[in-house]
Amino acid sequence: MRRSLIVLAAVCALAGCGGGGSSHLYTAQKAKACLRGLNVKIAPATDFVATTATGGAFRAVFPDNSVTMAFGATQEDANNIADAYRRFHAKNVGIEDVLRQDNNAVMLWHFHPLDASTTLIGGCLKST
């Protein structure tokens, strides 16, 4: 019986039962610390949308690109951040090519991101 409960608890945790899973909210502080630990340069967010992010924002600077990471305090806040980027982007910018969202984290890349860069960002988000 006890072993069955342990197995059930493990399966439930992996499946995201009980509030975890895809509703997990990321924090700017933990993501920033993870990226610094990987020797990624961190700079202040400078665009208007990011500076209004309810969960904080910063820029991660790579040798070949940079990404503004804006965090919503909630999933809905992040949806609003992404919508604002779509609304206010320059007409010559393919916004869907450089805008990504993962739960409450919104990433706006300067250029189309390399897979290695998005994997690194995603890893830091998942570790928070």
Q: What pLDDT, in 10s, does the model give residues 48-71?
A: 999 999 999 999 999 999 999 999
Q: Is residue 74 part of a domain?
A: yes
| Residue 34 · residue 58 · CB < 8 Å | no
* Domains: count for the chain: 1
User: Does a structural domain hold residue 110?
Assistant: yes
Give residue 6's pLDDT: 36
Residue numbers of the chain with a pLDDT score lower than 50: 1-21
d(CA 66, CA 112): 10
Examine residue 9 and state whether it is found in any structural domain, yes or no: no
Structure tokens given for 50: 């990011």
Cα angle for residues 70, 77, 27 (degrees, 5° grid): 45
Q: Is residue 3 part of a domain?
A: no
What is the predicted pLDDT for the residue at 24? Answer: 87
**Domain coverage including residue 80:** 24-126
Cα 105 vs. chain centroid, distance in angstroms?
3
Q: What single DSSP character describes residue 90?
A: -
Q: Would 32 be classed as within a structural domain?
A: yes
The confidence score (pLDDT) of residue 39 equals 96
Q: Is residue 86 part of a domain?
A: yes
Query: For residue 40, which of 120, 127, 128, 122 has the smallest C-alpha distance?
Result: 120
Q: What count of other Cβ atoms lies within 10 Å of the Cβ of residue 45?
A: 19
- Residue 97 belongs to some domain of the structure: yes
Query: Cα separation of 94 and 111, whole Å?
Result: 10
Measured between alpha carbons, how far is 57 from 49 in angstroms, rounded to an integer? 10
Residue 15: inside a domain: no
Q: Which residues contact 50 (CB under 8 A, 6 or more apart)?
A: 57, 68, 70, 81, 108
Decide: 104 and 73 in contact? Cβ < 8 Å: yes
